[in-house]
Amino acid sequence: CQETLDLEPRGEELTAGDILKDPDSYPGLIAKVYGGLIVGGQEGGDGNADINGIDGGFSNYLRLFWYHQELSSDEALIAWNDGTIKDFQRQTWNDGNEFIRGMYSRINYQIALCNDFLRNTSEASLDSNGIPESARGLIREYREEARFLRAYSYYHGMDLFGSMPFQDENTDPNVPGQLITRAELFNFVESELLAVESTIVPARQNGYGRADQATVWMTLAKIYLNAEVYTGTARYTDVVDYTSRVINAGYSVDTNAPYTNLFLADNNSNGSQNEFIWTLNYDGQRTQTFGGTTFLTHAPVGGDMNPSNFGINGGWFGIRTTPQFVAKFPGEENSADGREQFFTNNQTKQIADESQFGQGFAIAKFKNVDVNGNQGSDATGDFVDIDFPVYRLADAYLMYAEAVVRGGGGSQAQAVNYINILRQRAYGNNGSNITASQLTLPFILDERARELFWEAHRRQDLIRFNQFTTNYTWAWKGNVQTGTTTPAFRNLYPIPAEQLNLNDNLVQNPGY
Amino acid sequence: TVTDAANNLPILGASVVVKGTSNGTATDFDGKYSLNNIPQGATLVFSYLGFATQEIEYTGQTIINAILDEDASQLDAIVLIGYGSTTKENVTAAQTTVSDDEFNTGAIVSAGQQLAGKAAGVQVVAASGSPGDGPVIRVRAGSTLSASQDPLYVVDGVPLDQGNANLNSLNPNDIESYTILKDASATAIYGNRASNGVVLITTKKGQLNSDWAVSYDAQFGVNRNFNQVDVLTADELRALATERGEDLSLLGDASTDWQNEIYQTGTTGIHNLSISKGWESTSLRLGLGQTNQAGTLIGSDYSRSTLNLALTQRALDNKLKLTYTAQGALENRGFADGGAIGSAIVFDPTRPVRSTDPNSSINGFFEFFNGGTPEVNAPANPVGLLESLDSQNDNHQIRMNLNANYKLPVDGLVFDGNAGFDYNEFDSFSIRTANSRAGFFDNGSRSFSYGLRRNTLLNGRLDYKKFLEAIDTDFEATVGSSYQDFTRETFSRNTIDGSFSDSNGDPIPLRFFPGDNRLVSFFGRLSFDIKDLIVLSGSISRDGSSRFSPEERFGTFGGASAAIKLTNLDFVQNSSFISQLKLRGGYGVTGQQEIGPDFAFIQVFTPGQLQSSIQLGDTFLPTIRPEGAQDLKWEETAQYNVGIDLGFFDDRLTGSVDAYYRETSDLLQFAPIAAGGLENFVLQNVGDTESRGLEIGVNAKLVRSENFNWNIGGNLTFNEIEITNLAGPNNNPVAVGGISGGVGNNIQEWAVGSDPSSFHVYRQVYDQNGNPLDGVFVDVNGDNVINEADRVRYKKANPDAYYGFTSNLNYKEFFMSFTLRGSAGLYNYNNVDSNSATFENIFNNPGNYYTNSTTDVLESQFTDPQLFSDYYVRKADFLKLDNATIGYTFLGDKVDIRTSITGTNLFTITDYDGLDPEVSGGIDNNLYPRSRTVVLGLGFTLK
């Protein structure tokens, strides 16, 4: 009667045999590895979510990452009452915060997806599943990308949490991972990136949305730029080296096109794509999530903002910005800088009540319309088409300039030139160009804010300039309206208590 | 020979008398008798305690066999147990039988409702007032955390699918009795399905040698809501807005009571016809039923037609008894948009129901607009919600069982086998018109699903019974096996943007969701009745389930129990006041395999839907998600039970007391695991719970005479459960109990040392006048920051105790009965208040509109939402008059006419200020109100 109990699933799920023996499955498998960064689950609108313990839409990688990098900074605050979400803008989070737990789970899940892909695509695995040589070329390309994507998520873990539980394709995912410290993680991420640098598809030769050599360079440049934070050892020369490779790869910033084109529904085709090094791609009909750019478009719309101008059916009355960020623009809400996107009708600059959308200037950056103002592809107005630029050339310019100023070598004239390309686009003329003497570290930090706000860089930048916790305050930081400094231990997020309970190898960050 | 119809066994000591004479005898051990000097044409009368008397005319036969049926009026003498039956006095475990003469009456639509308040240790709660919503039944408050808490239902020998029992497909009028097996020594023979108790349901059957019996009864009821959520009226909202200096231009000039607009007076009509007849070797009963209900929420309704057939045939010289039972049901359920319930609470009462202004209406209903399109975040007009949705489910169900009981040539050996089949097909659709607020953005929507569920049973057992004279012991043994297969198939399809084709014009695929699992079981039981004083019983079951990997597939469960029938000792026999005394004790180990997924142990890959494709290069690729496999095993429950059965004053007063202690281990818990795998939460065998309880049941025959009888009964249950172990080396607590307000918020927590329904909240700080201070909470850990770490576990949703009280009275043809039911020591989280009753909720909306709230805002004066404040955790003790009936039976020559009037849900005594203190799970939010019903009943019995 043992056999009587041998049943086989016969639903949509497929067994390992069905999948791994079929060469046509592998594109779907790598799509999931990318998809782990882009959507929350297997159904439109984050249904059948990958991770649990948090709402499917909230579990979206990009949305969680954005909370951690932006809500905790001077660039954004939110009105909602979703659990502990206001702890970000107040910098009062603790190790029970469900969004921090969600981020930690999401990063580790993403690493597990990469590891699983690497296991399933080893030559031995392909042999045992009878995958013909003719199909392996593409699979090997994917494999390099999966290895990059794993390093990319470990880099996020290193940046947000410091240490991580370590898993790779050779460890048993059912056994809690060993601790890998921040410094060890740095070495691991660096070595992985250096390993795939020469084996991944060359810069600008891969399909849109797929990682290539320039994506690897950009990630290397990021870890080198922040190396002093991660390891105590500065690596600015390497920043100059790797940003130069990116800059010379053929990307371009169109100084004649408005800055706002970069964040429109057609940013994959309106010229902006020439500046993009790597994007997370969204589509209103085929890539539907309540995270990603759908969140970035809906959540900041409210008050007197007309949703149809944003190509959506309604705002979510959530995100605004602080007066301190407004002050980064000369002339504030009336700045001649074309990157200033404040919406001020019926919005106060000061924020007495965090929960009132009308308090704090709104920001109109992401718009689900094309250059002609037509709404994106989802007629319901729920989901958007905007691709999210993880890395774009402007960031490489700014990183190059910063590394030059910090003594990493390179050319100061070139650095000034790069900054001025961005400013020419911002002002529509060269009247606001800077000179070499204006190229200072404080200027670069502010310029990064003006150019890259809400693109999930701010917390990392503020920490590198030692302004995230101590030294600089903004509205509601420290849970005080005028803002107050916070202890430096908050430069790292806590390891979630849940994971400390489940994995005795982990060590809580100091201060928590 | 005189035999028992139920089990084909000979009856010892039955009396056989020639009618009208003193010529008689009694049967011997083999049920045999002999009688001489019987005149031609005389009538033989066969009788035995607990059985219906039978008369057979003597026409010169040399052998006259009689088969006696259990007498329904004395049914309590014979009780069902798992895979068999025994006498009441030989029951060794905690079990309760509730028969039709004790049932709750009135417009009972769902099987199970008859039981509410009737048995200690059994909770029966109407899930909501929605027509067609069956009751939630819990036996000794289920022991699991993540697995199913439903008991196993066995209808005439067929165990129902635990994942989808659909008791509604049974007409309550066709049910003769429920036997609830509570303790593990009784349920262990059902092994891996027994942890939540077993409910044996017996349907009515015809009697052998009986006349045609025809009865028809009808009930007509009206049901109305008797309570509303207290919300601000239009004038109160205007006054509040004025007082606070809000923007009065955002208010309208109407005065609408939205709850009045969405509710109506419901109706219930029930018709039942039953016909029965018994011949010498054949009996028949046919029941037909028709039920129509319109709920109080406009658009919700339920209708059901049922057929119940029971056919018994004896053959082969009465050695073979075949019983065929079938229950068929055609159900149709209409669903109203439940969203209207919540919307009616928060929708601005200063707005009209209807409007003709195209800038503020859709299809004639007022809606909030902004710039030519509806405000996407505003609530939808509650009436518009109801009118724009057409959602129905049709279910066709047939359940049948053929039972064969064959007396084998070996003395005392009987074979009993069942071939059962429970099958239903369902077909449902939901259509939202595009010309509505809810259908506005996605151009309306349509979804369809259909499918079937099939439950196939084959089982057989051998019963052996022998009297071991040498040791004065009745010995019984049972061995058997069972095979059951469950197949479920659902097909479904939804629209995108109102269409069944996607953006490329390709049809949206029909999705297929199957479910398959299979159970096999080998079981056995031995019992000894020694010197009619000590009863020992032991059972064992070896069970396999396809839901587990081959290594974990089989488990062994068992139980043992004993009883001492002190009733049979002289000191009781001679006592003037004690008439019954029995001590019982038992221990058993049972399992739980109703874990949800059918194939958790196999690694699968789930393809992504088209809407979650990923663009790589120029193409959109549907994803394929690898998933981990979990090697699960049974949840195991060990339970001890001790009990005492008592009778006083010739059983005028009877009672039972049971105490139990239960440990559940390898608890199936959906909980987080250490990061690093393909899931962050999985079902896992971690965690233990401990529960204990005390159950007291008392019945008293206050008055017992020919014309006047008055019985009262009461039961009281104390119950507690505590988590003793959770996942992870450090017993990781798990947030549970999702609430409305924000997204993804939970209000309860599983933690070691606590009841699983404990709330997890901030401690509210109050001022000296006892008013809560907005946003001020106790800094529990004293770190000067109020955050997650300051939430504590506080109170719980599970009651400490629940109780029922029943009275049945008749005087000549007049009758009267009622059932009171209550719970104590329970708390609810009032999510209706917490999610609406703050000034921010009313006046700071994501759009140009105001919303309404409950009047609690005037009490709390909260500005900001304080979802996690213990202010919203409120005491919910209650006492309800569930049911009261008065009636009169007119006796006629040809027909008896029974008339009655019944009220249900007549009053609730509680301090709880929400709509209804009885909330499943303890989170009170948008409950479909349980209405008050008045039912007129009319019954005809042909003579």
- Residue of A13, A39, A94 lying closest to B612 (CB–CB): A39
Q: Hey, are the CB atoms on B735 and A109 less than 8 Å from each other? A: no
B502/A contact by beta carbon, under 8 A: yes
Nearest 10 degrees: Cα torsion B94, B97, B103, B107: 80
Query: Mind telling me how many Å the CA of B352 is from chain A's nearest CA?
Result: 23
Complex prediction ipTM: 0.95
How far is B183 from B219, CA to CA, in rounded Å? 37
Asked if the Cβ–Cβ distance from A313 to B603 is below 8 Å, we say no
Strand B152-155's sheet: what is its strand order? B95-99, B175-181, B198-203, B152-155, B158-159
CATH number at residue B32: 2.60.40.1120
Which residues of chain B are within 8 Å of residue A1 when distances are taken between CB atoms?
520, 544
**Euclidean distance between CA atoms B354 and B365, whole angstroms:** 4
Six-digit token pair at A292? Answer: 């990603």
**Angstroms from A232 CA to nearest CA on chain B:** 28
Q: Which pLDDT does position B76 carry in this prediction? A: 46
The secondary element (H helix, E strand) that includes residue B231 is: none
B37 found inside a domain:
yes
Strands B827-830 and B923-924: parallel
Using CB atoms within 10 Å of the CB of residue A61, give its burial: 0 to 12 exposed, 13 to 18 middle, 19+ buried.
buried
Judged by CB atoms closer than 8 Å, whether chains meet at A176 and B735 is answered as no
B183 touches chain A (CB under 8 A): no
Q: Domain of B40?
A: 1-68
From first CA to last CA, the distance across chain A in angstroms is 55
Contacts of A74 (CB under 8 A, 6+ apart): A321, A322, A324, A325, A449, A458, A462, A472, A474, A475, A477
The reply to whether B740 falls in a domain is no
Residues 832-891 of chain B with CB under 8 A from chain A are 840, 844-847, 864-865, 867
Tokens 């039988």: give the residue. Answer: B97
A38 residue type, one letter: I
Distance CA B252, CA B132 (A): 38
Residues, chain A: 512
What is chain B's mean pLDDT, rounded? 91
Instruction: Among A25, A93, A502, select the one facing B787 at the smallest CB separation.
Output: A93
Calculate how close chain B gets to A408, using CA atoms only, in Å.
35
Å between B332 CA and nearest CA of chain A: 28
In chain B, which residues have pLDDT < 70? 6-7, 49-50, 70-77, 142
Residues of A within 8 A of B610 (CB-CB) are: 44, 286
Interface probe for A, chosen from B375, B511, B788 (most Cβ of A below 10 Å), is B788
Closest-CA residue of chain B to A299? B846
The answer to whether residue B275 sits within a structural domain is: no
pTM for this prediction: 0.89
- Report yes or no on B102 lying in a domain: no
The distance from CA A231 to its chain's CA centroid, rounded to whole angstroms, is 22
Q: Is B316 on the interface with A (CB under 8 A)?
A: no
Q: Can you give the pLDDT at residue B50?
A: 64
The answer to whether residues B840 and B857 touch, using CB atoms and an 8 Å cutoff, is: no
Q: Is B505 on the interface with A (CB under 8 A)?
A: no
Do residues B302 and B109 touch, judged by C-beta distance below 8 A? yes
CB contact under 8 A, A53 and B681: yes
In contact, B260 and B233? CB cutoff 8 Å: no
Q: Which residues of A87-101 are buried (b: 16+ CB within 10 A; e: fewer)?
A: bbbbbbbbbbbbbbb
Rounded to a whole number of angstroms, the distance between the first and last alpha carbons of chain B is 31
DSSP collapsed to 3 states, A329-393: CCCHHHCCCCCCCEECCCCECCCCCCCCCCECCEECCCECECCCCCECCCCCCCCCCCCEEEEEH
Contacts of B741 in chain A (CB under 8 A): 81
Contact predicate A88/A68, CB 8 Å: yes
Question: What residues of chain B lie within 8 A of the CB of A283, using their CB?
Answer: 613, 615, 620
- Taking alpha carbons only, the member of B706, B758, B561, B571 closest to residue B641 is B561
Nearest to B675 among A11, A54, A104 (CB): A104
Give, in order, the Cα–Cα distances in Å from A105 to each of A35, A159, A492, B448, B734. 15, 15, 16, 35, 15
Supply the pLDDT for residue B6: 67
Coil vs helix vs strand at A181: coil
Identity of residue B652: R
Instruction: Give the count of domains, chain B.
Output: 1
Exposed, middle or buried: residue B317 (CB in 10 Å: 0-12, 13-18, 19+)? exposed
Q: SS3 of A429, please? A: coil
Q: Which amino acid is at A510?
A: P
Q: Which fold has domain A12-200+480-512?
A: 1.25.40
Residues of B in contact with A315 (CB under 8 A): 376-377, 846-847
Mutation target vs A (from B549, B553, B625, B839; most A CBs, 10 A cutoff) = B625
- Backbone φ/ψ region at B731: left (φ over 0), alpha (ψ -120 to 50), beta: left
β-strand pairing of B24-26 with B158-159: unpaired
**Whole-angstrom Cα Rg for chain B:** 31
In a domain, B702, yes or no: no
Domains of chain A: which residue ranges? 12-200+480-512, 282-386
In angstroms, rounded to a whole number, what is the distance separating the alpha carbons of residues B817 and B885?
A: 5
**Is B731 in CB contact (< 8 Å) with chain A?**
yes
pLDDT for the residue numbered B216: 96
In a domain, B19, yes or no: yes
Interface contact B782, partner A, CB < 8 A: no
The predicted structure's pLDDT at residue A207: 95
Backbone angles phi, psi at A183, to 5 degrees: -65, -40
Degrees to nearest 5, angle at CA A452 with A81 and A183: 85
Compute the nearest-CA separation of A307 from chain B (Å). 9
DSSP H helices, B315-456, are 339-346, 382-388
B603 interfaces chain A, CB cutoff of 8 Å: yes
A16 CB neighbours in chain B (<8 A) are: 603-605
* Residue B784 CB partners (closer than 8 Å, separation 6+): none
Give the Å distances, CA to CA, from B391 to B332, B385, B387, B432, B509: 11, 12, 11, 8, 21
Question: Nearest 5 degrees, angle CA B722-CA B723-CA B724?
Answer: 110
d(CA B519, CA B485): 6
Residue B75, pLDDT score: 37
Chain A positions touching B603 (Cβ under 8 A) are: 15-16
Q: Which residues on B lie below 8 Å from A308 (Cβ)?
A: 371-373
A201: tokens are 């598809």
* Ordered per-residue pLDDT tens for chain A, 512 residues: 568 889 988 888 888 888 999 999 999 999 999 999 999 999 999 999 999 988 888 999 999 999 999 999 999 999 998 888 999 999 999 998 999 999 999 999 999 999 999 999 999 999 999 999 999 999 999 999 999 999 999 999 999 999 999 999 999 998 999 999 999 999 999 999 999 999 999 999 999 999 999 999 999 999 999 999 999 999 999 999 999 999 999 999 999 999 999 999 999 999 999 999 999 999 999 999 999 999 999 999 999 999 999 999 999 999 999 999 999 999 999 999 999 999 999 999 999 999 999 999 999 999 999 999 999 999 889 999 999 999 999 999 999 999 999 999 999 999 999 999 999 999 999 999 999 999 999 999 999 999 999 999 999 999 999 999 999 999 999 999 999 999 999 999 999 999 999 999 999 999 99
The rounded distance, in Å, linking the Cα atoms of B96 and B180 is: 5
* CA distance readout (Å), B219 to B216, B266, B306, B892, B902: 10, 14, 16, 21, 10
What's the token pair of residue A312?
Answer: 């959506």
C-alpha neighbours within 13 Å on the C-beta side of residue B139 = 25
Residues forming beta bridges with residue B642, ordered by sequence position = B585, B659
DSSP designation for B110: S
- Copy the structure tokens of residue B777: 């909470």
Cα separation, B11 vs B4, in Å, equals: 6
Distance CA B168, CA B799 (A): 27
Tell the burial category of B438 from Cβ atoms under 10 Å away from its Cβ (0-12, 13-18, 19+): buried
Pairing of the two strands B66-68 and B2-4? parallel
- What's the gap between Cα B502 and its chain centre? 41
- DSSP track, A39-92: -SEEEGGGEEESS-SS-TTTT-HHHHHHIIIIITSTT-EE---STTTHHHHHT-
Q: How far is CA B7 from the centre of its chain?
A: 30
Give the chain B residue whose CA is nearest to the CA of A1: B520
From chain A, the residues in CB contact with B744 under 8 A are 54-55, 58, 82-83, 98
CA nearest to A318 within chain B: B846
The token duo for B194 is: 């027994």
Alpha carbon B897 to its chain centroid, in Å, reads 32
- Is residue B454, in this structure, part of any structural domain at all? no
B627 touches B678 (CB < 8 A): yes
CA R_g for chain A = 23
Q: Which residues of B touch A498 (CB under 8 A)?
A: 672, 732
Rounded CA separation A177/A164 (Å): 8
Strand partners, B144: none
Q: Measured between beta carbons, which residues in chain A are less than 8 angstroms from residue B605?
A: 13-16, 18-19, 25
Query: A–B: how many Cβ contacts below 8 A?
Result: 322
- Beta-carbon contacts of residue B736 (< 8 Å; ≥ 6 apart): B746, B748, B749, B750, B756
